[in-house]
Each structure stands twice: as C-alpha cells, then as structure tokens.
Structure 1
Amino acid sequence: MPSRLPSPRRLLLTLLAAIAPLAMAQDYPSKPVKLIVPFPPGGSVDLVARLLGKSLQEQLRQPFIVDNKPGASGNIGAEFVAKSPADGYTLLVGSAGVFAANQHLYAKPPFDPEKAFAPIMRIVDQPNVLVVPPDSPARSVQDLIALAKAQPGKVSFGTASVGSAQHFSTEIFMQQAGIQMLHVPYKGGAPALSDLMGGQIDMVFDTSPTAVPFVKSGKLRALAVTSAQRSPLLPDVPTMREAGLPNFEVVTWTGIAAPAGTPPAVVGALNAAIKKALGGELGRQLAETSLIPVGDTPQAFKAFIHQDAQNYARLVKSANITPQ
C-alpha cells in the first residue's frame, strides 16, 4: 500500500511554522520594548534596568523603556509581565526575591516564577553593605550586636520588602549573631534608606550601588560588606567575616526574563545583545557601582533560579517566616 505523503499545503504550513520564530528574531525589536521593574525608582534593580535599557537602545535601535510597577514585594510588576504577550516586548528586570524567594513567602502566590517566565540572563551579582545613620552609637558590627542584645526586639532594621535580599541578609545576621531585631518592611530600598538617614530605623543591609554614594558623602556609616572580599569602592570597610561572623557571606543578584512561551530565538537574541553590552561600556558602568557582571546563558540562569529557590525555601523555614 503506497504511503500517504503530506499535501503541499500542509508542507508549506509546517515550513512557515518552523521559520516564523527565526524571522521574528531577525526583525526583533521592531518597536519599543518595556523593561518592567517591580520596585520603585532609586534602588539597585532600577539602576541596572536603566543602564541596561540605555545600552540596548543604542545597540538595537529601538527604545527600551523602564516602567516601575512596585508593590507586594515585587509580585505586582512580575505578575504583569507573566500575563503579557510572549513576544519579547515586555520584559522583567527583577531580583532574587521576585524570581526565587516570593513563592515561599506567600500562602497563595499569584504565579510560579519557574513556570511563568522564560529566563534570559542573570545580569549581575552584588554584595550588600550594612549601613547605619552617621550618629548611630554602633561604630562596628560588634557594637551593633551588643546594642541588639541589650535591647532584644528594639533595634530596628529596614528592608525593601518582606523576603527581599535585605530581609534575608538580616535574618542570617540575626541567626549567626544570636540576636533579635524589629523588622520594618518598605516598598523598595530607596524609602528604607530615606528613613534610615532620617533616624526612623537603626540599620539596613542595603545593596552596594545605592549605599556606597551615601557612605562616601557621609550621610551613612558602613559597618561591613556581605561579600567574601572587601569592596574596591569601600576598601576600609571590613567584610562580615572580618567583623566577627566567619560564616557570613551573602551576594544577591539581578536578572532579566520574558513571559513563558517567548520564542527561543527572541530569548537568544536578547541574551546575545546583553552579553555584548556587558562586554563593553555597560559592564564598566556596572563595575563602577560595585556590581559584578555575570552574563550567563538562558539555560544556566534557569538552573540557577531553581537552585536559589530551594535555598530560599530552607531559609524561610529556618527563620520561621510564616507565608502571608
């Protein structure tokens, strides 16, 4: 019995379906691209997005517009991207909290980040800086620990949100130092820093790009950095290990993703463009603010998110954080 061959029309449709994503990638971008930042302006994620948008606009000849959509620890902006068309024109520039931690902090999370997004790249790693007001009685990490032990639950710390990198840095600090402090969550890192400088709260583990200028201007005092090595921008500031906590090292990160279902060719084109930018002026600009360019592949970033999510799950449990 002779085999049945596909009709010419079916062959044409199959061919068109196969080449459509490639053609889309070749034409991409053909209109403005939105970079959704799920936090207020002024924080480190916002800084990365704005530098990245400027670089991609120059390289790809289309506007890359930063759109801040803060709230719910980053979930509002992230959910907006998750529900956007999977065409590469609405992207999420987010933190470890959005991509890895929040799913363990909410009893009914609005989306599963490992299913809702197509990872593009982990853009940068960054240490945090433990900062206090310039008139704080704490002039060292050990001073701060002594204050907290003398007033259990009274010394306050600010964070960008519940489950943010600042929050988890402080939870690790409290566990290793054997202290308990009062958590004051904000809707972003910038308002937390504002209240810190105003004396409304006592300390913040802030991201280095936003903390360093205030430290250099004398508006804040840096007690330690959370990386394994000292920051070249703050060479006189010890690491947390040097300050008496030998097991303390926390480095957070910022990455970019598209809605799930975005054509792999578009994801690949974006990854290649960002990698090229990191190898040039963008990489230098980020390094000047103490950010460490990464530039991994979509596959590596996906695996990294999965591993970090497991790490956060263990930390949420050990810190006895109750999902909201």
Structure 2
Amino acid sequence: MLKKVLIVLLACGAQLTLAQDYPGKPVKLIVPFPPGGSVDMVARLVGKSLQDSLKQPFLVENKPGASGNIGAAFVANSTPDGYTLLVGSAGVFAANQYLYANPPFDPQKAFAPIMRIVDQPNILVVSPQSPAHSVKELVAMAKAQPGKVSFGSASVGSAQHFSTEIFMQQAGVEMLHVPYKGGAPALNDLMGGQIDMLFDTSPTALPYVKSGKLRALAITSSQRSPLLPDVPTMKEAGFPAFEVVTWTGIAAPAGTPRPVIDKISAAIRTALQGNLSRQLAETSLIPVGDSPEAFREFIRKDAQGYEALVKSAHITPQ
C-alpha cells in the first residue's frame, strides 16, 4: 500500500514540475483549416497572447483537409505533453464524427478540452451584383430556381454548411451546396460570382461588408452586431426560430497532464480579461473563456445537436 502511495505522490510531483517548467520550448498550435479563416484568426491572436505571457513561441501551423480531420488527427496522435495543441471549431470537435463513415478519431476520447475561446455569429452575404437585397428576395430567388441557387461552405459539416441547411429547412427551399477546403476560398468565389450566397463567419466577412465588396443580408445572432448596426438578425428578417452561433476552442491530446492544461487555460483566461478580449470584439467575436470541464460538457451537448441535424438534413456520411 505504501509503495502505491509513493508512486502516486511521485507522479503528482512529476506533473507539477512539468507544469512549472512548461513551456520549455516552442508550442505548435495546429489549425486544421487554411490560413485566412476565423479559426486561423483566433489561433494567431491567442498564440500571440500566450507567447507574451508564457515566454515561448506559440507557432500556428495550418494543416487543412478532410473538413479539418487531417489536422485534428495529427494532434490526436501527437505526444500528450502540451507542445502540440488543436485550435478548432465545432466540426472537428462535434460534427465530423457523424459526417464520416470511418472517422479517424473519437473526439470525446482523443482530446483533452482546454477552453471554448469564442462564440461567433455568421453573416449571410451575397455579392454586390446579386439581385437579392434582402433575405426575402433571396428566398424568392431560390424558390424560383429550385436546386440552382448555390451556396458555399468551408467544408461539408462546417458551420457555413449547417447554417444553410437550417435556413433551407425553415425557408422551404433547395439550393446547391458547393463545399470548399476552407472559408477563405469560398469567400473569394462568392466575390468572384462563382457562387450565390454564403453564411460566412463574422470576422472574415466583416471587412468585405464594410468595404462594399460583399452585401450583408442578415446576421445569425439573437441581437444585431454593434459593428453592423444596420444589418438585421435572421429573426428580424422573417425567421423567428433561426439563431446559429458557432465557436472556436482549444484542446490538447488526451492524456496531457492536467497541470499543463490548467496553465494554458489560466494564461488564456488572463489574456481574455485584457487586450485579447478587445481584439476579438473588434472582429465581432464574443469571448467565452470557460473551464475544461464546462468545455467538455458543451462539446457533448453540441455533438448531440449535430447528430440530429445530420439526420434531419439526410446527409450521407462520406
């Protein structure tokens, strides 16, 4: 019995020492999407804050592909020492397990959640050349051309995809889905006229709306954004049951020592109480900063919602 107690005490001591020394070298922040999207933006802001407070480089690496599964699997299979972290969205943490017949990992088992960093609304945008100047006119377009009005998304199962699935169900329309390998390519094609509409993440759409390169028809949050006060919510646009707010969080490989998890979590939470919160709010992101336990439970409940939506939308796993 004494031997077991000594082993436990030694293990606890080793973990505490690891946390005290962490980080002793650069840390990788894996973003499973291309540069330029909202997840990438959050990762770079958080990485800069962590670098400033923990005095080691936090380097963003983009590993896109398979709706985020490639980058997420890389983290899931990494050494659980806190030096390879995943900054991802609802897709990799909650939705993809229902979108792939043979997912490369079980998100509930593969990761140690650290924090849900931000929530973010989406903005329904079209090009300035679009004949639709309102959500009502967009619905009329879609009804007049069933299956021909196209919408883009960052990937199958992304926030953009699911937002539009909900929209189509509530509007009673059918549109053509054009999935991309990230939000930035979809946004570029929307401005180029290759697709007709997009529920884009607010941080990436906002600059293009303000510059006149995109036209915003509605925002998916319950309240109007102070950064776009003239843009109605989807509820105001005639969809009282429509509210979609997506999120970005950070996690480590399962088995990462809890003291390391707590040190990262505390550093981000401190940053969110200062300049980082202001930087995020400037791009319409809503800081959250919850605990590892709260984030794990949030992921579990969100996954249940995605499972139901995949079934109701008749999405066939790939």
Q: Distance in 1 between matches of 2:192 and 2:186?
A: 10
Q: Distance in 2 between matches of 1:15 and 1:148?
A: 65
1:78 and 2:72 matched: yes
In the alignment, which residue of structure 1 is the partner of 2:22? 28
Match of 1:46 among 17, 35, 40: 40
Structure 1 or 2, whichever has the larger Rg, is 1
1:304 and 2:301 matched: no
In the alignment, which residue of structure 2 is the partner of 1:109? 103
Q: Distance in 2 between matches of 1:41 and 1:29?
A: 25
| Percentage of matched positions with identical amino acids | 78
* Residues 11/182 of structure 1: CA separation in 2 closer, same or farther (3 Å cut): closer
Q: What are the equivalent positions in structure 2 for 1:57-136 lying under 5 Å apart?
A: 57-136=51-130
The alignment of Structure 1 onto Structure 2 pairs a total of residues equal to 318
Match of 2:153 among 159, 163, 178: 159
Match of 1:284 among 278, 284, 304: 278
Deviation per CA, 1:39-98: give whole Å up to 9, x if none. Answer: 000000000000000111011100000000000000000000000000000000000111
Q: Distance in 2 between matches of 1:56 and 1:102?
A: 28
Runs of at least 5 residues in structure 2 that lack an aligned partner in the other structure: none
Q: Distance in 1 between matches of 2:92 and 2:200?
A: 17
Q: Distance in 2 between matches of 1:315 and 1:138?
A: 27
In the alignment, which residue of structure 1 is the partner of 2:313? 319
1:185 and 2:179 matched: yes
In the alignment, which residue of structure 1 is the partner of 2:250? 256
SS in 1 for 2:279: helix
1:194 and 2:188 matched: yes
What amino acid does structure 2 have at the position aligned with 1:300? A
Query: Deviation of residue 248 (structure 1)?
Result: 0.4
RMSD between superposed Cα atoms in Å: 1.0
In the alignment, which residue of structure 1 is the partner of 2:219? 225
Match of 1:272 among 266, 282, 296: 266
Runs of at least 5 residues in structure 1 that lack an aligned partner in the other structure: none
* Residues 173/259 of structure 1: CA separation in 2 closer, same or farther (3 Å cut): same
Match of 1:143 among 133, 137, 146: 137
What amino acid does structure 2 have at the position aligned with 1:180? E
Deviation per CA, 1:130-152: give whole Å up to 9, x if none. Answer: 00000100000000000000000
Q: Distance in 1 between matches of 2:11 and 2:243?
A: 48
Deviation per CA, 1:214-259: give whole Å up to 9, x if none. Answer: 0000100000000000011100000001001111000000000000
SS in 2 for 1:242: coil
What amino acid does structure 2 have at the position aligned with 1:226? T
What amino acid does structure 1 have at the position aligned with 2:290? D
Query: Deviation of residue 15 (structure 1)?
Result: 3.0
Query: Deviation of residue 275 (structure 1)?
Result: 0.2
TM-score, length of structure 1 as denominator length = 0.97
* Residues 195/19 of structure 1: CA separation in 2 closer, same or farther (3 Å cut): same
SS in 2 for 1:180: coil
What amino acid does structure 2 have at the position aligned with 1:34? K
In the alignment, which residue of structure 2 is the partner of 1:243? 237
SS in 2 for 1:130: strand
Query: Deviation of residue 18 (structure 1)?
Result: 2.1
Q: Distance in 2 between matches of 1:246 and 1:13?
A: 58
